[in-house]
Amino acid sequence: MTWKVGADPDRPEEAISFFQSKLQLTDYEFNQLDERSKHFAFSAAGASRLDLVSDLFNSLNAALANGTTLEQFKEEIGAKMTEAWGHPDGARIENIFRTNLLSAYSAGRWVEMTDPAVLASRPYGRFSAIMESRTCAICGRLNGTVLPLSDSWWQFNSPLIHYQCRCEIENLTEAEAKGTVADRGPDVKVSPGFGRPPMMLPWAPELDTKPPDVAAIYLARQRREKPPELPPPPPPAVRLPEVNRLPPKPLELPPPPVKDYRAEVLRDVEKEIVDRKTERAVVVGPEGGVRIDKVGTKNSVTFTEAEVEKMWDAILTHNHPSASSLSPDDIKLAITGNLKAVQAIGRWKDGDGSATRYEMRRGEHWPSWAIVRRAMEEVEPDVKRHWDAEIAALTDRLGSQWASDKGDALKPEFEQLYSKANHDHYHMVWTRVVEKLREHNWDVTYERTDHAF
């Protein structure tokens, strides 16, 4: 493992920065957030008052900075938590202590490993679990997985994998990783709220980079107002005396319906951009808000690193003046920005006048670009041979007419064929690439649809 050593080598600055970047919420507020938004917040089950959350937060922050032990932490915070919960619960306090500190340390290691200078010499990561009787089946299955740290697999399988997880990532040199690099990592389902590397972004003034629900609560706090649309928490349940009884069966409620406001926004955007002569890209978040609206050249739109960070879980749509399908750069951007989907729309000059939309969409997460590129390399030669055969067949059919006076009259047929090849080439490539990806259990879809506008 490669580390930067500052003036105080015992003070984990990156871990402290990660922990301090979280917004303190009551448990009720915290449970209103989606799984991604929870990465930006701190709370604890049963902490219904903000002053209690603040005490917990300050004690954990001090533990990171000063090396507080678990026993010291219990002594400092135990009485307050017992009062809040209505009974002592040492195991629960230990879970809060270990999970938060281990998460912060893991985040600090990730920041160090992905520093460009470190990444240049140690570009690979190895998932490392402590293999013993207490190790869970998921961590055991992930143990030993070696992949480039740039692989999208790490975006969903980085320690911690569950509460009190003791796993870590070891960063490796090219020589250390040689012969052990996997084509793809194991496909497992980690505990909800775990498995993501840190998202270390400042709270203000860049609130537009935060999930809307978190930003709304933050702004309400700044105005000393009640967070919007959050009803008061239910009264605490009366604790009954302990008796010999079976534990109650948890109430299973269906998940609330989630409205995706993007569809109508995207439809309006597509009507505006479909006939442009230069490319225009619009990124729309699940709440229906436009995160990015950018105009490019005839063949491309360029994004900054900060703009790519805003693409998480959004849909990017843009026009292709040639009406061709998605380009390799489009797919690479979708993977890098973890877009939910990427779309291209255009109106083919040799078509029936309708607009064509091409879309590639991920399920839970994308395969890495290296996996997609290998699939492309397998299928694209066959697609090229298809077009070569089409051209050869047209040439044979026309035969000697090229040498006659009719030669000029035949040029439109060849122009139309080349236009069709340009229009359909990547459509055929992505159709076959996605078939291969799905054969290997990657949940990725691709489709082409026509629209009358």
Q: Is the pLDDT of residue 205 over 50?
A: no
Domain that holds residue 51: 8-113
- 57-88 burial: b if 16+ Cβ within 10 Å, else e: bebbbebbbeebeeeebbebbeebbeebbeee
Taking residues 438-443, report their average pLDDT: 85
Taking residues 6-20, report their average pLDDT: 69
- Residue 248: its pLDDT value, please? 55
Average pLDDT along the chain: 79
pLDDT bin (cut points 50, 70, 90) of residue 179 is very high
Query: 């080439």: which residue's tokens?
Result: 425
Q: Is the pLDDT of residue 297 over 50?
A: yes
Q: Residue 14: inside a domain, yes or no?
A: yes
Which residue, 82, 113, 144, sits at the end of a domain? Answer: 113
- Residue 361: its pLDDT value, please? 93
| Paired tokens of 290 | 């436009």
Total domain count, the chain: 2
| Paired tokens of 368 | 């890495």
Beta bridge mates, 448: 358
Long-range contacts of 129-138 (CB under 8 A, 24+ apart): 129/166, 129/167, 130/166, 130/167, 136/161, 136/162, 138/162, 138/188, 138/189, 138/190
Q: How buried is 223 (Cβ within 10 angstroms: 0-12 exposed, 13-18 middle, 19+ buried)?
A: exposed
Instruction: Note whether 177 and 124 are within 8 A (CB).
Output: yes
Beta bridge mates, 172: 124
Q: Is the pLDDT of residue 203 over 50?
A: no
Which residue, 80, 97, 113, sits at the end of a domain? Answer: 113
**Helix residue spans in 126-276 (DSSP H):** 137-142, 174-177, 212-222, 262-273
Q: Is the pLDDT of residue 92 over 80?
A: yes
pLDDT bin (cut points 50, 70, 90) of residue 260 is low
pLDDT bin (cut points 50, 70, 90) of residue 190 is confident
Q: Residue 154: inside a domain, yes or no?
A: no
Instruction: Note whether 123 and 156 are within 8 A (CB).
Output: no
- Residue 389: its pLDDT value, please? 85
Taking residues 259-271, report their average pLDDT: 73
- Residue 402: its pLDDT value, please? 53
| Paired tokens of 310 | 């805003």
Query: What confidence tens digit (pLDDT) does each residue in 27-77 have?
Result: 777 777 766 677 778 888 777 778 888 888 888 888 888 888 889 988 888
How many Å apart are CA 192 and CA 30, to the nearest integer? 14
Q: Is the pLDDT of residue 115 over 80?
A: yes
How many Å apart are CA 443 and CA 101, to the nearest integer? 34
Question: Which helix (H) or strand (E) element contains residue 333?
Answer: helix 328-336
Provide the percentage of residues in the chain whose pLDDT is more than 90: 18
Q: Residue 215: inside a domain, yes or no?
A: no
Q: Residue 161: inside a domain, yes or no?
A: no
Query: Of 120 and 397, which is predicted with more confidence?
Result: 120
Q: Is the pLDDT of residue 274 over 70?
A: yes
Q: Residue 250: inside a domain, yes or no?
A: no
Q: Is the pLDDT of residue 5 over 50?
A: no
pLDDT bin (cut points 50, 70, 90) of residue 176 is very high
Q: Is the pLDDT of residue 208 over 90?
A: no
pLDDT bin (cut points 50, 70, 90) of residue 444 is very high
Residues 6+ apart with CB under 8 A from 32: 213, 230
Q: Collapse the DSSP code of 433 into the 3-class scheme (helix H, G, I; strand E, B; otherwise coil) and give the result.
A: helix
Q: Single out the residue of 201, 178, 192 nearest to residue 124, CA to CA.
A: 178
SS3 assignment for 312-326: CCCEEEEECCCCCCC
> To 5 degrees, how large is the angle CA 227–CA 230–CA 234?
125
Instruction: Note whether 436 and 379 are within 8 A (CB).
Output: yes
How many Å apart are CA 19 and CA 390, to the nearest integer? 61
- Residue 143: its pLDDT value, please? 93
Q: Collapse the DSSP code of 229 into the 3-class scheme (helix H, G, I; strand E, B; otherwise coil) and give the result.
A: coil
Query: What confidence tens digit (pLDDT) does each residue in 337-371 have?
Result: 889 999 999 887 666 678 889 999 998 888 888 88
Q: Which amino acid is at 190?
A: V
pLDDT bin (cut points 50, 70, 90) of residue 172 is very high
Query: What confidence tens digit (pLDDT) does each residue in 378-423 have?
Result: 998 998 888 888 877 777 776 655 544 454 555 677 677 777 777 7
E strands within 41-165? 41-42, 124-128, 146-148
- Residue 7: its pLDDT value, please? 41
Q: How buried is 21 (Cβ within 10 angstroms: 0-12 exposed, 13-18 middle, 19+ buried)?
A: middle
- Residue 432: its pLDDT value, please? 92
Q: Residue 192: inside a domain, yes or no?
A: no
Q: Residue 122: inside a domain, yes or no?
A: no
Which residue, 113, 130, 152, sits at the end of a domain? Answer: 113
Query: Of 411 and 282, which is predicted with more confidence?
Result: 282
Query: Of 308 and 144, which is predicted with more confidence?
Result: 144
Q: Residue 100: inside a domain, yes or no?
A: yes
